[in-house]
Amino acid sequence: MISAFLSALLAIGLPRGSPPAPGDPPPTPRTEQEVREQVEVYLGSIDTPIRLDRWRALGAQAAPILEEIATSTSELPTRRARALEGLSAVGGPEVATRMLQIAQSDEQPSVVRMSAMRGLGRLMTSRQLVPALRPVLENSPDVQIRAAAAEVLARHAPKTACVLVRAQLGREPESHHGAYRRAMASCSVP
């Protein structure tokens, strides 16, 4: 009786909307509605990080859905940040431009700006990234945003950016130096 019950459970699979298990292959949704549903599942996943290959598997159809969520001020900042993560994976012609606008805007929530900067690290070449994030590194009024820009720059453009990161650290008060720990660790790696 128990084995019949377990067989039945295995036959029906996971309920629709369940977050993916870490080893599961990425889904391949076909219709716009299926893509939208999968985006919602991924955005609603709290305990399971969504790998970039899972976002990529959604394809270009997911880009407008994710961009709509990422740029909506009525959405929760954490949901917008997750949408930006997905958007950086699926790409699109205007994705880097949109992310740069968000990353450079002091009006955006910090978590959203940080996610946009991480996305830019994946989308831009190091040659593009340095001029894009240098104003954020040097001019943002928020130390956490400056430190996040430093980390993205140090990780993705260390040859040119670490000089800028060190210079910024020199301008920071001693009490802010801890925020730059990850960036400096990336700059210390040969």
Tens digit of each residue's pLDDT (9 = 90 or more) over 132-173: 999 999 999 999 999 999 999 999 999 999 999 999 999 999
110 shares its domain with 133: no
* Helix, strand, coil percent content, the chain, rounded in steps of 5: 70, 0, 30
Residue 153 per-residue DSSP state? H
Tell me the pLDDT band of 23, cut-offs 50, 70 and 90: low
Residue 98 sits in which domain range? Answer: 30-123
What pLDDT, on a 0 to 100 scale, did the predictor assign at position 188?
83
Q: What's the whole-number mean pLDDT along residues 14-34? A: 60
Does an H or E element contain 123, and which?
A: helix 110-123
What pLDDT, on a 0 to 100 scale, did the predictor assign at position 176?
96
Contact 63, 94 (CB under 8 A): no
Q: How many CB atoms lie within 10 A of CB 187?
A: 21
What pLDDT, on a 0 to 100 scale, did the predictor assign at position 25?
54
What pLDDT, on a 0 to 100 scale, did the predictor assign at position 31?
87
Portion of the chain with pLDDT greater than 70, in percent: 83
What amino acid is encoded at 87 in this protein?
L
If one counts the domains in the chain, the total is 2
Instruction: Give the N- to C-terminal CA distance of the chain in Å, as an integer.
Output: 62
Q: Where among 106, 123, 140 does a domain terminate? A: 123
What pLDDT, on a 0 to 100 scale, did the predictor assign at position 3?
45
103 shares its domain with 140: no
Mean pLDDT score of the chain = 86
The pair of structure tokens assigned to 19 is: 């977050």
Tell me the pLDDT band of 10, cut-offs 50, 70 and 90: very low
Tell me the pLDDT band of 29, cut-offs 50, 70 and 90: low
**Number of residues assigned to the chain:** 190
d(CA 81, CA 113): 8
131 shares its domain with 119: no
Please report whether residue 167 resides in a domain: yes
Q: Where among 105, 123, 141 does a domain terminate? A: 123
* 73 vs 5: which has the higher pLDDT: 73
The pair of structure tokens assigned to 120 is: 């830019």
119 shares its domain with 130: no
pTM (predicted TM-score): 0.81
Portion of the chain with pLDDT greater than 90, in percent: 76
Q: Where among 108, 123, 138 does a domain terminate? A: 123
Please report whether residue 53 resides in a domain: yes
Contacts of 141 (CB under 8 A, 6+ apart): 106
| pLDDT tens column, 80-113 | 999 999 999 998 768 999 999 999 999 999 999 9
What pLDDT, on a 0 to 100 scale, did the predictor assign at position 24?
58
98 shares its domain with 129: no
Q: Checking phi first, is residue 189 left (phi over 0); if not, alpha (psi -120 to 50) or beta?
A: beta
